[in-house]
Structure 1
Amino acid sequence: MRFVIIGAGRVGLRTARVLREEGHEVTLIERDEGKVRRARNQEFEVVEGDGSREEILEQAGVREADSVGALTGDLNVNFAACMIAKHYGCRTIMRIDEDYRENIYRKYADEVDEVIYPERLGAMGAKNALLGGTIRAIADIAQHLQVVELTITDDAPVNGYTISELQLPADATVLAYGKRDGELGIPTPDISLEEGDRLAVLADFDVLSDVRQLLVGGTESRAEAEHGGVN
């Protein structure tokens, strides 16, 4: 998947690193020269400029992006960037500081796909928001291992399969299963997978994309599919 992140500060850069480690394409937008240098030193593609300006977002590839995360400390920049990204059909994630009043939160929450408080969520939470609801990171087990929760979609190749028929990559294994609104539990071999069912999977970062393709469906480009997400 392709992501544009506005803000290469602590939250934005850490979120970008997590996404890149999982094989996603990430472009950062930052106007502070020091932060631009730091991100480029970590081999990120960075567009230098104001992320609330449409021409800057276009330079960063908003037309091809699946999701845009406005993760700066400036609420006005974040909101403007999300409104532009929404015009291009992107999923929009807006950072809001924890000390904003509840009525301010409600005002903006209706205009974007998700509002996040990085002080509470950290980089993993920001990443989950960017990826959407079909895949959710639960825990990092080791440097290259992660537990993710995936929701079976109507497009999933394994929709209708039983657990015993499910063939995940060698570096991935099912840990738990649950119905749409039910609790996760130990799966039995004859359970049939249906849309809305959830699986908790332990997987190496290198095979997460393959796991996603099997359990969620879709492709990694907006041109080929209109929905999807990853942990």
Structure 2
Amino acid sequence: MRVAIAGAGAVGRSIARELIQNGHEVLLIDKNPASIKPERVPDAEWLLADSCEMSSLEEARLDRCDVVIAATGDDKVNLVTSLLSKTEFGVPRTVARVNHPNNEWLFTEAWGVDVNVSTPRIMSALVEEAVTVGDLVRLFTFRQGNANLVEMTLPADSPYVGQPMGLIPFPENCALVTILRDGQVYVPDKEQPVESGDELLFVVPSNVEDKLEQLLAPSSHGG
């Protein structure tokens, strides 16, 4: 897979190293000469250019890329880069970094963004996931599927503690992905009972989240 990364700062370089380690081709683009440091990621291609300029993106041959990652520290640049990549070069997949939480609503398909990554939101979700019991915590949003990856730590007073998973009437379109228990990952099994303190990871549409909370933790959600 060929990946272009706009923004060759610490974030962009870290992403590049990880992708290269996984066997992908990476092109790093930055308009700041001070950010062009090939010695930091010697196996990547480097281009001194402005990712908001059509001529620069043509020089980068974005039409040959499978993914474009807009990872600069400027939300405006990340939006324009994503939009041009998608509309002018037909890049199949765009991922954009959100620097300011107030701008997250802009990072949608209308601006050519398939997936947005908000560092503040991820950090707050991880904090909530670590301390919250009985509430759904949204960890990630899948833009193209209109679904979310959510987590719930099952409370001790859940009516389904000790019940086999196959007997739990999960809402329609709700998929239990995995169970985390005592530091182990368990593949869901209809015969396996759930236990108090289990971390349950689901993929669900947004409109199903309230139903799922009310089902598994009714005492905390109006049941």
The TM-score with structure 1 as length reference comes to: 0.50
Partner deviation per Cα, 1:53-110 (whole Å, 9 max, x = no partner): 122122222111011011001112111111111022211111111x432xx3223324
User: Following TM superposition, by how much is the alpha carbon of 1:186 offset from its aligned partner in structure 2, in angstroms?
Assistant: 4.5
Structure having the higher Rg: 2
1:92 matched to 2:94 = yes
Aligned residue in 1 for 2:176: 182
Instruction: State the distance in 2 between where 1:183 and 1:23 align.
Output: 27
Call closer, same or farther: CA 1:116–1:56 in 2, change over 3 Å. Answer: same
Is there any run of 5+ residues in structure 1 with no aligned partner, and where? 123-127, 134-179, 189-231
Aligned residue in 2 for 1:62: 62
Partner deviation per Cα, 1:94-152 (whole Å, 9 max, x = no partner): 1111x432xx3223324210111245659xxxxx99xx99xxxxxxxxxxxxxxxxxxx
- Of structures 1 and 2, the one with the larger relative CO (CA 8 A, separation 6+) is 1
1:114 matched to 2:115 = yes
Aligned residue in 1 for 2:166: none
Instruction: State the distance in 1 between where 2:46 and 2:35 align.
Output: 10
CA RMSD of aligned residues (A): 2.8
**Partners of 2:29 and 2:49 within 8 A in 1:** yes
User: Paired residues, what number?
Assistant: 132
Aligned residue in 2 for 1:213: none
**Taking every aligned residue pair, what percent have the same amino acid on both sides?**
31
Is there any run of 5+ residues in structure 2 with no aligned partner, and where? 124-139, 146-173, 179-185, 190-223
Call closer, same or farther: CA 1:96–1:81 in 2, change over 3 Å. Answer: same
* Aligned-partner residue type, residue 97 of structure 2: R
Residues 1-231 of structure 1 correspond to what in structure 2 (within 5 A)?
1-36=1-36, 38-43=37-42, 44-87=44-87, 88-90=89-91, 91-97=93-99, 99-101=100-102, 104-111=103-110, 112-118=113-119, 181-184=175-178, 185-186=186-187
User: Following TM superposition, by how much is the alpha carbon of 1:8 offset from its aligned partner in structure 2, in angstroms?
Assistant: 0.5
Call closer, same or farther: CA 1:100–1:46 in 2, change over 3 Å. Answer: same
Instruction: State the distance in 2 between where 1:2 and 1:71 align.
Output: 16
**Partners of 1:30 and 1:51 within 8 A in 2:** yes
Secondary structure of the residue that 2:11 maps to in structure 1?
A: helix
Instruction: State the distance in 2 between where 1:61 and 1:40 align.
Output: 23
**Partners of 1:30 and 1:49 within 8 A in 2:** yes
Call closer, same or farther: CA 1:66–1:93 in 2, change over 3 Å. Answer: same
